[in-house]
Structure 1
Amino acid sequence: MIRRSLLISAAAALMLAACGQGDQAKSGANAPLRIGVTPVPHAEILEAIRPTLAAEGVPIDVVVFNDYVQPNVQLSEKRLDANYFQTKPYLDEFNLARGTDLVTVAGVHVEPLGLYSRKHANLAAVPARGLVILPNDASNTGRSLLLLQSAGLVRLRDPANPLQTVRDIVANPKNLTFREIEAPAIPRTLSEADVAVINTNYALDAGLKPRTDALALEGADSPYINYLVSRTDNAEDPRIQALARALRSQAVKDFIAGKYEGAVIPAA
């Protein structure tokens, strides 16, 4: 569960995001960095390093979002200085679709994608013509299909292509049906599905424990690292670089290992 203090700060940040849509992030060496995040684990990790950054003269404003689009939109419009929530395949797809030029600064952690069910205790119990719910953005849809393939539920046209769609399924032994919806909404629809693929940040936020609740989970070798992201014009800002160092520090690796018990894995 999210701490009460984090819920309060998240609500305040959401209000700020809603009411201050025209505000730009302030520049200057002593100005707070405005960083867009999703609640778990990203906001929690930033709260853990807030004192360290403050001691280095780098105050931060943590702006919490419950979707994957607005943190990039507001970063590109300079309403944020950076964001921290996404993988590089997702960022690449966003840049291509939106004509933006956002860049990765530092890889921080991996959140293994999981396959969950409230109806079935294991994959063998998933019935013929069962319903599978997937995230609807291209990078997470492809990633989800690779997980379903590794679990033996489907076979794909290209076993390694991370941007395949359901049209690339060439074998579906159980004749499963697929529904694609926005990733944040999937935990709320879990009871409707036979199985659902859920991003770990949303699984944790919903009280799921990936290591014990998931029927299948990506391995620790997953290439889907979550990055600190900025724009080309501010990637070398000393404040951004200080944030990157803090996020890559041993203290953060220890915090992640202790708090998330393998559901979140520090990047190498």
Structure 2
Amino acid sequence: MKRLLAAFAAVAALSAHANDTLTVAATAVPHAEILEFVKPQLAKEGVDLNVKVFTDYIQPNVQVAEKRLDANFFQHQPYLDEFNKGKGTNLVAVTGVHLEPLGAYSSKWKSLADIPGGANVVIPNDATNGGRALLLLQKVGLIKLKDANDILSTPKDIVENSKDLKIRELEAATLPRVLTQVDLALINTNYALEAKLDPSKDALAIEGNDSPYVNILVARPDNKDSPAMQKLAAALHSPEVKAFIQDKYKGAILPAF
């Protein structure tokens, strides 16, 4: 009996010292790279970080809401707000980490001035990034929107289009793959980097650092304040992460802390 009790005590002691595990969804670049960078530090703090890479903007939120994953790291607050509203979910931001300026790219033209009349332009098909793309096109003078500040603008809200641009909406992840088939593509920086585009050099136009679209760590109300989640949030705000972002991405991605 004493041996049995001792065995139970040993198991209990091991359990007490077992690391917490966080499984976090992320798009490959830069989100998963940043998470992989903080993984060793978190392990020292008793948190095993499991990073699952996704290529879309839907399943990471669905699986966190369904408690199949603990958190995700790929989106900004306007996108999260629109997703919660449309899907009836209640996901919440834990902390902001970095900004990925959205850019306009072309494999056919060297400047926006060269874009011809009737040019084919593609933008993301989700509400917030599509509106964001249109706001950038407006900022550089290619179109004018009914509401100059509406982040949920759609092509139907264009009131001036002097070059008669043919604007189509496609899934954000596919935009780099069709770049050679169109005149201009508005691409999120994470997908641009995956496609070996350099936003600081290749973009014909890009958002400034005044953009409100900071990428956030997202969880649920029931786990956002857990000790493990807060350790992850703190790690993502460390001086080491700031230096990693600045050194690795050379201004294509900007720390937001």
3-state SS of paired residue (2:149)? coil
For the pair shown, the structure with the greater C-alpha radius of gyration is 2
Tell me what 2:174 maps to: 185
**Distance in structure 2 (CA, Å) of the matches to 1:71 and 1:175:** 36
SS at match of 1:227: strand
Q: Which residue of 2 aligns with 1:224?
A: 213
Matched with 2:98 is: 109
Instruction: Give runs of aligned pairs for residues 76-87 of structure 1, distance below 5 A.
Output: 76-87=65-76
What is the 5 A alignment of 1:83-162? 83-162=72-151
Q: 1:69 is matched with which residue: 58, 69, 72?
A: 58
TM-score (norm: length of structure 2): 0.92
Cα displacement (A) at 1:42: 0.4
* Contact 1:103–1:229, Cα closer than 8 Å, also in 2: yes
1:140 CA drift (Å): 0.4
CA contact (8 A) 2:20 2:46 kept: no
- Cα pair 1:29 1:239 within 8 Å, conserved: no
SS in structure 1 opposite 2:47? Answer: coil
156, 159, 169: which one aligns with 1:170: 159
SS class of match (2:147): coil
Match of 1:75, SS state, is helix
TM superposition shift of 1:161 = 1.1
Supply the distance in 1 between the matched residues of 2:85 and 2:18 (Cα, whole angstroms).
31
Q: Which runs of at least 4 in structure 1 moved beyond 2 Å after TM superposition? A: 28-31
How far 1:32 moved relative to its partner? 1.3
How far apart, CA to CA, are the structure 2 residues paired with 1:29 and 1:176? 58
Q: 1:240 to 1:29 in 2, by over 3 A?
A: farther
SS at structure 2 position matched to 1:68: coil
Normalising by structure 1, what TM-score?
A: 0.89
Offset, 1:29: 7.4
Aligned partner of residue 20 in structure 2, secondary structure: coil
Residues 112-156 of structure 1: per-residue CA shift (max 9 Å, x gap) = 000000000000000000000000000000000000011110011
2:70 aligned partner, one-letter code: D
Q: Which amino acid aligns with 1:53?
A: L
Partner in structure 1 of residue 36 of structure 2? 47
1:221 CA displacement: 1.1
Question: How many pairs does the alignment contain?
Answer: 241
Aligned counterpart in structure 1 of residue 223 of structure 2, from 218, 234, 240: 234
Task: Name the counterpart of 1:11.
Answer: none
Tell me what 2:193 maps to.
204
Gaps of 5+ in 2: 1-16
Q: Partner letter of residue 161 of structure 1?
A: D
Partner of 1:265: 254
Do 2:20 and 2:228's aligned partners in 1 also have CA atoms closer than 8 Å?
no
Which residue number corresponds to residue 15 of structure 1? none
State the Cα deviation string for residues 59-113 of structure 1 (Å, max 9, x = none): 1100000000000000001011010000000000100011000000000000000
Q: Distance in 2 between matches of 1:246 and 1:221?
A: 24
Describe the superposition over 1:163-210 as per-residue Cα deviations: whole angstroms up to 9, x where unpaired.
Answer: 111111110010001111100000000011100000000000000000
Task: Say which SS state the counterpart of residue 67 (structure 1) adopts.
Answer: coil
Counting aligned pairs with the same residue, the percent is 58
What letter is aligned with 2:74? F
CA distance in 1, matches of 2:225, 2:38: 20
Matched, 1:30 2:19: yes
| Paired AA for residue 27 in structure 2 | T
Give the letter for the 1:64 counterpart: V
> Which AA in structure 1 matches 2:159?
V
